[in-house]
Amino acid sequence: MAVIIPLFTPHEGCLHTCIFCNQRHIRPNPEPIGPQQITDTINTWLARLRPQQQQTTQSTQAARTVEVAFYGGSFTALPRQRQENLLHAVQPFLAQGLVQGIRLSTRPDSIDTDTLYMLKRAGVHLIELGVQSCDDAVLARSGRGHSHEDTLRASRLIRKAGLQLGWQLMLGMPGEGFTAIRRKVAACIQERPDCIRIYPLVVLRGSRLAEEWRDGRFRPLSLKKAVLFCAYMKSHFDAHKLPIIRMGLQASSDLKEYLLAGPYYPAFGELVRARMMLKRTRTLLSGYHQKEPCILRIAPQDVSAFVGMKRSNMHRLEELGLSTRFTLKLDARLPRQSLRLDTSLQHFQ
Ligand code: SF4
């Protein structure tokens, strides 16, 4: 996996006000990031990474690639000169081989072929689209200002330009029931992005959604439901070999300061993996009918997913009378996220 050096252009280029976004409220006049700040940030990161990279080279492992990412705004909606200035600041690092690529995030309705080729020439190799939903009614209810057709069009143009494609998906948007979630999963499987992020929606102070939440017009998903829905999405994406690079919001000082309600949990992805492991364990054990306990094997790194947060999976297995039906063994030869009953290897991913 690449090391990502994140550079933030918060709300820059965005002409919209999504119902869940509070950027306009908390940064009415954001100080735009400039070339010197970009150079300094990259240099700081590279200095911090140097010892790790040397260590991996000495241990004959390949050093991890380093990428610069422009996140937080709608990069391709910025004026062309501003885009070029931002990218220009990264060029010396690309030329020296200190950074191997650039990725950025943007809106689906801000993509055109000419811009894509300019980005490609400047070293951009991956564009993450803020897709959020594939249902036009759900998109409209959140004031996204783009349609699912825009997402499909942008995805195809990105691919046609020879760039990699990422989809950022939200979970628990206003008006989003299970049917819309299923539609989102199906559309994603159809388009096959190179990477996916899943963010459960939370209510932030200063957003329009905060008003709806206060007067009871909107209720966010509970943490339990968000985990269940996310596990549903992940199981389908895993089955189609679509890589998920993040589940859950990244902890940040902004989030801590502005979070009002919603399914935020710092290790959200772990909760999802634990939920999937419990389901798989139950399925395997329900098909095991011998008198003696069986042996279940997992990779050593999966112990916490097997046990669950605060031993929740173990408690549930006890309630179901299944905790005495197996002996757990750690097996370093197993790939992560697999569960093995005796000799038959079963992947649940
Ligand atoms: S597109 Fe992104 S930056 Fe713009 S309002 Fe929506 S969430 Fe905020």
Domain ranges of the chain: 3-198, 278-347
CA-nearest residue for atom 7, ligand 1, is 21
Residue 345, pLDDT score: 45
CA-nearest residue for atom 8, ligand 1, is 21
Q: Which of 68, 123, 69 is nearest to 95 (CA)?
A: 123
Contact (Cβ atoms closer than 8 angstroms) between residue 193 and residue 242: yes
Best mutation site among 22, 74, 173, 201 for ligand 1, i.e. most ligand atoms within 8 A of its Cβ? 74
Encoded tokens for 341: 């009953």
State the CB neighbour count (10 A cutoff) for residue 65.
12
Contact (Cβ atoms closer than 8 angstroms) between residue 202 and residue 262: yes
* Amino acid present at 26: I
Q: Is 184 in the pocket of ligand 1 (CB under 6 A)?
A: no
Ligand 1 center from residue 52 Cα (angstroms): 35
Residue 344, pLDDT score: 47
- Residue 54 backbone zone (phi > 0: left; psi -120 to 50: alpha; other: beta): alpha
How remote is the C-alpha of 16 from its chain's centroid?
A: 22
Architecture of domain 3-198 in CATH?
Answer: Alpha-Beta Barrel (3.20)
Q: Is 21 in the pocket of ligand 1 (CB under 6 A)?
A: yes
Encoded tokens for 28: 């009415």
Ligand 1 center from residue 18 Cα (angstroms): 6
Residue 231, pLDDT score: 97
Q: With a cut of 70, which residues of the chain have pLDDT below it? A: 28-29, 54, 56-62, 343-349
CA-nearest residue for atom 5, ligand 1, is 17
Contact (Cβ atoms closer than 8 angstroms) between residue 306 and residue 270: no
Q: Is 312 in the pocket of ligand 1 (CB under 6 A)?
A: no
Q: Which of 55, 77, 83, 54 is nearest to 130 (CA)?
A: 77
Distance from C-alpha of 68 to C-alpha of 329, rounded to nearest angstrom: 41
Ligand 1 center from residue 15 Cα (angstroms): 8
Ligand 1 center from residue 26 Cα (angstroms): 13
Q: Which of 250, 263, 278, 253 is nearest to 337 (CA)?
A: 278
How remote is the C-alpha of 21 from its chain's centroid?
A: 17
What backbone phi and psi angles, to 5 degrees, belong to 243? -75, 130
H helix or E strand, kind and range, residue 30: none
Q: In angstroms, what CA-CA distances link 130 with 64, 127, 174?
A: 26, 10, 16
* Amino acid present at 6: P
Q: Is 23 in the pocket of ligand 1 (CB under 6 A)?
A: yes
Encoded tokens for 332: 């370093």
Contact (Cβ atoms closer than 8 angstroms) between residue 172 and residue 221: yes
Contact (Cβ atoms closer than 8 angstroms) between residue 176 and residue 140: no
Ligand 1 center from residue 14 Cα (angstroms): 6
Residue 349, pLDDT score: 46
Q: Which of 1, 117, 96, 92 is nearest to 39 (CA)?
A: 92
Ligand 1 center from residue 243 Cα (angstroms): 24
